Amino acid sequence: MKPMPLARVVSSCFAFAWLSIASPAFADDVSFGASQLCGLQSARPDRNAAVQVKTVQGRNGPIGYARFGQGTPLLLITGYRATLGEWNAYFLGALAKHHEVIVFDNRGVGRSTPMAGHYGPGYGIRDMAADAADVIAGLKLARVDVVGWSMGGMIAQQLALDAREKVESLTLIATAPPGPEAVPLTPEVQQVLSSSGADAFPKIMAVLFPADAVADASKCFVGDMFAPRGYKGRPVPDAVADQQNRAMSQWFADSAAADRLRRSPVRTLIIAGANDDVLADANARHLEQMIPRATLDVVADAGHALMFQYPIELAGHIQAFVRYIR
């Protein structure tokens, strides 16, 4: 079943009742309007001194996390070479109006320090999903709605397979399915995302955003990042970036996970950017076909970093989905 785009639907009982008897699933084209990269005046949780990064003990060592907001718990899983500080602060603030938001550092990143010996071949998407499960268990959460972005969307899918009893719903943003049907990153894009140095930032902005949004992204991206007091997550070690690359390569060959996903009962919202140069929206269409209870929305004029390009609209879209399934 397909909820209609947020811009065309009021979140009323009548609308959702209509959706429950609507025709079979198909991809909706969604427009979020003008980019919201600069000039937002809404709340951001990192301006509250009480919002701090703490650690919870996982099987692989300490896991850095931040927790804020009120409502049902929403666990966010971030992507390649990203710390918990790579989330857009206004996006998090909008989500926190209706949810207790939990963001955390993936293994080896920020304040999630792995124990010795965990950079080897066994460190993959499934291991990072186990870390996410440890966050849920360590914070004594019964069930959570899960949002995964990019590589974090891969981790979220694996989490739903391995800890089904903990996952209420999935929202997968700009990500890819497991197995050979996926369209991996091109070597050129991978090289850009792995780059560092003075000239890396403009190249990364150019692959994360559509051409008409790059100028604003370059101006406002860093200032809009989630920056809780006392937290420094950079730089991400090269060994971690290399291992994450290997983990994604393994994911794109994981036919067993693809077969399991075809039997997943978890309600899933898939959100893709129509202009995503990192993970093509063909991945989202494969995911929609793969997951039995999936809804796909393709956002016009959106690149890979949707939560920076449309933080308020994207948060509202996710909130409408989570509220609907509950």
157, pLDDT greater than 60:
yes
Task: Confirm whether 109 is domain-assigned.
Answer: yes
The pair of structure tokens assigned to 124 is 């993959």
235 prior amide bond cis, ω within 30:
yes
Give the pLDDT of residue 19: 34
142, pLDDT greater than 80:
yes
119, pLDDT greater than 70:
no
Question: Which of the two residues, 29 and 147, has the higher pLDDT score?
Answer: 147
CA end-to-end span of the chain, whole Å?
15
244, pLDDT greater than 50:
yes
Task: Confirm whether 5 is domain-assigned.
Answer: no
Region 28-53: what's the mean pLDDT? Answer: 94
Give the pLDDT of residue 121: 52
Task: Confirm whether 130 is domain-assigned.
Answer: yes
CB of 127 closer than 8 Å to CB of 137? no
Beta strands (DSSP E) in 198-293 are 267-273
SS3 173: strand
Give Rg (Cα) of the chain.
Answer: 18
Domain encompassing residue 92: 33-311
How many percent of the chain have pLDDT more than 70? 89
Region 204-218: what's the mean pLDDT? Answer: 97
Give the pLDDT of residue 60: 86
**Model pTM?**
0.90
* Strand 54-58 to 61-69 pairing: antiparallel
Contacts of 261 (CB under 8 A, 6+ apart): 157, 161, 177, 178, 290, 291
Question: Taking Cα atoms as reference points, which of 296, 289, 300, 250 lies closest to residue 271?
Answer: 296
Task: Confirm whether 196 is domain-assigned.
Answer: yes
14, pLDDT greater than 50:
no
Give the pLDDT of residue 28: 82
Give the pLDDT of residue 9: 34
Element containing residue 99 per DSSP (H, E) = strand 99-104
**Domain containing 253 — which CATH number?**
3.40.50.1820
Task: Confirm whether 14 is domain-assigned.
Answer: no
Lowest mean pLDDT among 3-17, 239-253, 293-307: 3-17
Give the pLDDT of residue 16: 32
12, pLDDT greater than 70:
no
- Give the pLDDT band of residue 326 (cuts 50, 70, 90): confident
Tally of domains in the chain = 1
301, pLDDT greater than 60:
yes
Region 142-167: what's the mean pLDDT? Answer: 98
Region 248-263: what's the mean pLDDT? Answer: 97
* φ, ψ of residue 148 in degrees (nearest 5): -125, 135
85, pLDDT greater than 60:
yes
Task: Fill in the DSSP letter of residue 74.
Answer: E
CB of 182 closer than 8 Å to CB of 176? yes
53-56 — which CB contacts under 8 Å span 24+ positions?
Answer: 53/84, 53/110, 53/111, 53/228, 53/230, 53/231, 55/111, 55/112, 56/134, 56/135, 56/138, 56/139
Task: Confirm whether 10 is domain-assigned.
Answer: no
Task: Confirm whether 234 is domain-assigned.
Answer: yes
Task: Confirm whether 147 is domain-assigned.
Answer: yes
**Highest-pLDDT range among 56-60, 115-119, 131-135:** 131-135
Question: Which of the two residues, 47 and 14, has the higher pLDDT score?
Answer: 47
Across the chain, what does the average pLDDT equal? 89
Region 243-256: what's the mean pLDDT? Answer: 96
- Give the pLDDT band of residue 27 (cuts 50, 70, 90): low
**For the residues of 293-323, what is the DSSP string, one character each?**
TEEEEEETT--S-HHHHSHHHHHHHHHHHHH
Give the pLDDT of residue 122: 58
CB of 301 closer than 8 Å to CB of 275? yes
CB of 304 closer than 8 Å to CB of 273? yes
Lowest mean pLDDT among 53-67, 224-238, 244-258: 224-238
Give the pLDDT of residue 272: 97
